[in-house]
Amino acid sequence: DYFDLIVSNPPFHFEFETNIEISLNLFKEASRCLKSTGLFQMVANRHLNYKTHLVKLFSKVNVVAGDDKFIVYACSEPLRVA
């Protein structure tokens, strides 16, 4: 099944440790499950710099909102990376 919209605030805290593996897997699954015309929108802590990972999975990665601490990405045109 393919989705028109996927929205997330992915976790990165596991007890006292920062771990983005679950988020990276979520990004891959979002690119796989999103319609070619769909949108993956997410909010994250700015310091995680997820854009470097998102651009490998989506043709378009835009920052649509943010402040000093948080950032909102809108990702479209999934690349269907295996």
The 10s digit of each residue's pLDDT in 16-47 is 777 889 899 999 999 999 999 999 999 999 99
pTM recorded for the entire structure: 0.88
pLDDT at 81: 66
Q: Alpha helix (H) ranges present in the chain?
A: 21-33, 51-54
pLDDT at 16: 72
| Structural domains of the chain ordered from first start | 3-78 (3.40.50.150)
* Strand ranges across the sheet with 34-45: 3-8, 34-45, 70-78, 58-66
pLDDT at 17: 78
Q: Cβ distance 40 to 23 under 8 Å?
A: no
